[in-house]
A and B are shown apart, each in its own frame.
Chain A
Amino acid sequence: MRSNPRIPGRRLFRFPWRTAAQVAADVDEELRFHLDMVAQELVDAGWPTEAAHAEAVRRFGDLEGTRKQCSALDRRKETQMKWMQWLEALGQDLRFAGRQLLKSPAFTFVVVLTLALAVGASTSIFSVVHGILLKPLPFGQSDRLLWVKPLTNGEAGGTLSYPNFSDWRDASKTVAQAASFHPGSINLSGDSGDPERLIGMYVNAEFFSVLGIEPLAGRWFAPGEDKPGGPAVAVISEVLWERRYGRDSGLIGRSIRLNGAPFTVIGIVHRKEQFFDVAEVWIPLGFTYENLQQRDSVYLGAIGRLAPGATLKEARSEAKAIGERLARQYPEANTGYSMDLEPLQTYLVGEVRTQLLVLLGAVLFVLLIACANVANLLLVRATAREGEVAIRSALGARKGRIVRQLLTESIVLAVLGGGAGVALAIWMTKALVALAPAQTPRLDEVAVDSPVLLFALGITLVTGLLFGLAPTIQASRPNLTAALKEGARGSRGRASTRARNTLVVAEIALAVMLLAGAGLLLRSFARLQEVPLGFQAENVLKLHVSLPSSRYDDDAKLQVFVDGLVERLQAVPGVQSAGVTVYGLPLTGGVNVWSFTIAGRPPVPQVQEPIMRAGVATPGFFETLGITVARGRALDARDREGATPVIVINEAAARRYFPNEEALGKRIILSPDNPDGMEIVGILRNFKQNALAQEIEPQMYLPYAQSPMPSLAVVVRTASDPAAVTAPVAAKVHELDPELPVYAVRTMEEVLALSSAQPKFYMLLLAAFALIALLLAAVGIYGVIGYTVRQRTQEIGIRMALGASRERVLRMVVRQGLTLASLGAVAGLLGALLATRGMQSLLYEVSATDPAIYVTVAVVLVAVAAVASWLPARRAAGTEPLLALRGQV
């Protein structure tokens, strides 16, 4: 009989592997035998014994060298064979595992599907977390970039004034370079295309070099170009370059019209390297309409780059010191001032961080539950295979070998599930990115790339080991005699039952935690939807028009345009009313806050003056949005230029600033130029101004006619579908001025939907995970109860033969399921109490410990558990006692 000749030295039985010392000893023994034989030969020929030995060694040649070389060769061979045998065993294990899994296709399918779902969901959420939270920003040495956080009385603000910025920059030694900027809308007109409204950035000269990026073409701003009166130069985005100029390389050096004035294009920003990804044009800070000299004019964002060798900690304490010095130096503008820094990435990711981490936590819970489920299935299977394992041990398979075989099976399952999971993840990640709210930062960075694949591989192997461990431990302690004697039936009930029960309880606990989290978000979202808006969003269309100061250079021209527009819009068929506001449209951002004083009250220092959101509006604005008056009157046609200056405020303003008196008739002073101020003629009912979750703030409206401004938000109310009047409305704007871009056209219902898109998205995802978790937990309970019922068939048969009723059997089995469910629910609720604390910032008017949610979750879970154990219980109750007793079921 020939063994396989390809594998050198392959034997049926192999001695245990030899150590290096044993190898050397073997070589020595072999050589000693040879020398002894030669010496014996010589002694036989008449040599004296001693001389014979010396002669044998002499004849041998290089004895020492031979010893060394032979040992080295043998050691190499030993290692080689160890590997060969390992690979061979692995091949055996894999083939065997494959056969075992093919033998039970239903089991394999359920396990692979469970794992694929869990690994797929985890991987796609991780790809989002990786893209948004972990991947470095696309800038040079982006971990050295800082965001500047000015503080007032310890409260963080987003922006700072130019004098405070430049004083900090000049004094700082830990920050090598710093940039300041603010966004603004810029009209692009001229060339061949339609006039467009672009999002622009006013930036200082160092802006791009702080980011550490190179232009795609052309150059950045030169030092000094950002001073007021500097050259009219502009940098544009790759997106704009492509969209409007077809990547014309001749654009650099050419002139384009921005806000009605000529600017020379000097550079193009790579689309992947934008700091503020919707910006399309950058112009020097010197062109800003804001005041660069005033220390209390606070509107600039600022970033900095850490100096070589400096640490964030040093830079932060330095910023604090400089900020506090600025507070002492300029007490009027800087009361309570201080400064802080944070990594730019942390700032950019902002609040999304908590949401993503909650999602990641949730999805890893799902993964754990899936693990527990699969472990349970494997445990049941392992028990069923006890006989097989026992026979193999009895035939001499070592414990390690059996453990390895079982682990191989688990890993094969994990790899199959993981592979399917990755395929699923690619699809799910695309779906996530498509469905994610548009406000999510860095969404374009999300992809299933190599770190994400590595993560998938990691969790696949870890889950394989995790769920493979329990059955392996069980199988490695086989009780041979019992297993062989009794076949496979219930030979070792206790330990394995306890293991299965523990897993199910853990699974239920995790599911409860997820359900609680999802429940909280769901309730919070429902609360958000119930928030009274205070205005009517149905059948309202809004759009924006900005009147360039180059042509609309006085109040009269603005007024003429607005009057003409409102009149024309009201004539459009289907339009019921129309109005214009500036800084007054709810839920659309664009906040304007003014400080004011109240006539007749003692004067206070300027920095302590109260502040209020301020907008201007035409009379039709309130009618169109359905904002109603609580007391007094709304603004109306009487409030023209030259008439008595008037103002309306909302209830929040009346309550805050006139707490114990009637606000109507009081006068509000906005500027020393008008010491008489404006009379409050009406109190508006409150309406939501910002995101739905935010508090209603004090707000005032001035008549447009008494304070015209150029950035118009236009609203029209229609009889039916508001989107249908988009074209006629835009036509009316162009009738008045063909050069004006009409932008940000949306129905107010769309605006409303957008404002709650983010909480909705996270709520839906978490709810989906919680449902999967619930389903898996139900399957887990079903599996365990079903298995116990099968094991106890004989016992149940005996009980029934002795007179136990079907109901009694039913109750007994269901009670077992409910016990497990209750234990899990209690553990889960305790866990949820701890875990949901981190979610409080995501919740609107719902406490993270809301008892209603917790009770609901517990009830839902127990109900599901009851159903999941009732199904197998019914089968148990249907047992025919006689058949069961004979063991024929």
Chain B
Amino acid sequence: MSKSSLDLLHGTVAVLILKTLTWGPLHGYDISRTIRQRSNGALGLEDAALYQALHRLEHKGWIEAEWGLSENNRRAKFYRLTDEGRRQLETEVSSWRAYVEAVSMVLETA
């Protein structure tokens, strides 16, 4: 794992978690692994930050949790996206795109 991974911008963790959960209910460990794999290890998400974010999102009602069994038959807490979380993701993604576009335009004209 590269040590030069990008530091995650504040607020980005939420979008990443929401996006990850669009494929189905996952427990915390899977979420962390999925994010790492999809970014090819470029996004080093610290576990502490991930879990705090998960509980914050649950509190906001964007995701909900339920205890279930993991692949290796252990009790694990699975998170799933709520309707409200889905809507929230859409807004966040479009504003993220707008932001990226704006930054790229500045960088390209320079």
Contact = CB atoms under 8 A, between A and B. Distances in A.
Interface of A: 2, 5-6, 8-9, 26-27, 29-31, 33-34, 36-38, 59-63, 65-66, 69-70, 73-74, 76-77
Interface of B: 27-29, 32, 46-49, 51-52, 54-56, 58-61, 64, 70, 74-77, 82-84
B56 A61 contact: no
A455 B42 CA distance: 69
B52 A60 contact: no
Identify the interface centre among B51, B54, B76, B82: most chain A CB within 10 Å of its CB.
Answer: B51
Contacts, number: 74
B83 A2 contact: yes
Contacts of A9: 58, 61, 64, 82
A30 B67 CA distance: 9
Given A61-B48, A62-B48, A73-B56, A8 B82 contact: yes
Contacts of B58: 9, 73-74, 77
Contact of B28 (A8, A34, A73, A77): A34
Contact of B59 (A2, A6, A30, A76): A76
Nearest to A40: B72
B51 to A, nearest CB: 5
Nearest to A62: B48
A77 B60 CA distance: 9
A66 B54 CA distance: 11
Contacts of A73: 55-56, 58-59
A8 B64 contact: yes
B77 A30 contact: yes
Contacts of B74: 33, 36
Contact of A31 (B49, B51, B60, B83): B51
B47 A61 contact: yes
A69 B59 CA distance: 12
Contacts of B28: 30, 33-34
Contacts of A30: 27-28, 51, 76-77
B76 A69 contact: no
A70 B48 CA distance: 10
Contacts of A29: 75, 77
Contact of B29 (A37, A70, A76): A37
B83 A74 contact: no
Contacts of B76: 30, 33
Given A8-B64, A29-B75, A30-B76, A65 B48 contact: yes
Nearest to B49: A61
Nearest to A57: B47
Given A8-B64, A9-B61, A74-B55, 10 more contacts: A8-B82, A26-B77, A30-B76, A33-B70, A60-B46, A60-B47, A73-B55, A73-B56, A74-B59, A77-B58
Q: Considering the complex of A and B, which 10 residue pairs feature the smallest CB-CB distances, nearest first?
A: A8-B61, A61-B48, A5-B83, A60-B47, A70-B55, A37-B29, A73-B55, A61-B46, A66-B48, A30-B77
Given A8-B84, A26-B77, A73-B56, A34 B51 contact: yes
5 contacts: A30-B28, A33-B27, A69-B52, A70-B51, A74-B58
Contacts of B64: 8-9
A77 B51 contact: no
A782 B37 CA distance: 81
A30 B49 CA distance: 14
Nearest to B31: A34
A31 B32 CA distance: 13
Nearest to A38: B29
Contacts of A33: 27-29, 70, 74-77
Nearest to B87: A5
Contact of B48 (A5, A38, A60, A76): A60
A826 to B, nearest CB: 64
Contact of B51 (A5, A6, A26, A66): A66
Nearest to A4: B83
Contacts of B60: 8
Contacts of A8: 60-61, 64, 82, 84
Contacts of A60: 46-48
Nearest to B30: A37
Contacts of B51: 30-31, 34, 66, 70
A77 B29 CA distance: 23
A541 to B, nearest CB: 85
Contacts of A5: 82-84
A63 B55 CA distance: 14
A63 B51 CA distance: 10
A812 B3 CA distance: 99
A70 B47 contact: no
A289 B62 CA distance: 90
Contacts of B83: 2, 5
A73 B46 CA distance: 19
Given A2-B83, A33-B76, A77 B48 contact: no
